[in-house]
Amino acid sequence: MSELNAITVDVVSDVVCPWCFIGQKRLDKAISAVGDIDVHVRWRPFQLDPTIPPEGKDRHEYMLAKFGSDERIREIHARIEPLGEAEDISFAFDAIKVAPNTLDAHRLIRWAGAASEAVQNRLARRLFQLNFEEGANIGDHAVLIEAARDAGMDASVVETLLPTDADVEAVRTEIATASRMGITGVPCFLLEGKYAVMGAQDADTLADAIRQVAAAKARGELEKAG
């Protein structure tokens, strides 16, 4: 495919955001629907709560402090679960015992992107699955190393890098850049670095946005807009 038939979608997300998992599934559907357009996906970091300590917090206590009551928590989960089912996601909220700090997960996603787009996509999907469907603690280095291996990364390199500060500042800088761009919630799909689609929009909406931006690029209008 020509470059005019190719666009890049930067997905700003946090791997503990259920809407981001739903958004990832819907983006996959949208990409399948626009088969004539070569869509390149890059995962960008965002932390819904960077104040969580590295060891994480008890998730039930964390959710209770955030939402006020078990009833409210159940309402939120009950609203999300059927939306997940529609996207072949089996949310297992009760299995999640730890609210993790996701900084290390985002470092890992960054390294996966340096390997290849396919590896990064596989890793992002795996981290969502681990957290939401398997209840794994994705702040735990052993879990992250295994996820890296599952995605096709060199797990020994990851095992060496995770305990260091490698790319900590780079990830924090990316998150700060997203905030400066006005991104306050996730997911956010940034098309060609110019057009933002906010929230877990349905696949048709995402596909339409991809087609419109690809057409504008083919007409040379994106350069004029820049």
What's the count of helices (H) and strands (E) in the chain, helices before strands? 10, 6
CATH code for the domain of 182? 3.40.30.10
| pLDDT attached to residue 3 | 56
For residue 224, name the pLDDT band (cuts at 50, 70, 90): low
* 0.85 exceeded by pTM: yes
Burial bucket for residue 83 (CB in 10 Å: 0-12, 13-18, 19+): middle
In terms of residue numbers, what domain contains 129? 3-225
Residue with tokens 């390997």: 115
- Residue 56 and residue 100 in contact, taking contact as beta carbons nearer than 8 Å: yes
> Residue 1 above 50 pLDDT?
no
For residue 225, name the pLDDT band (cuts at 50, 70, 90): low
CA–CA separation, 171 vs 116, rounded Å?
18
CA–CA separation, 84 vs 184, rounded Å?
23
| pLDDT attached to residue 4 | 57
Name the domain count of the chain.
1
Report the pLDDT averaged over residues 156-172. 99
In tens, the pLDDT along 187-200 reads 999 999 999 999 99
Query: What are φ and ψ of residue 144, in 5° steps?
Result: -65, -40
> Residue 133 above 80 pLDDT?
yes
Angle at 48 between CA 43 and CA 49, to 5 degrees: 130
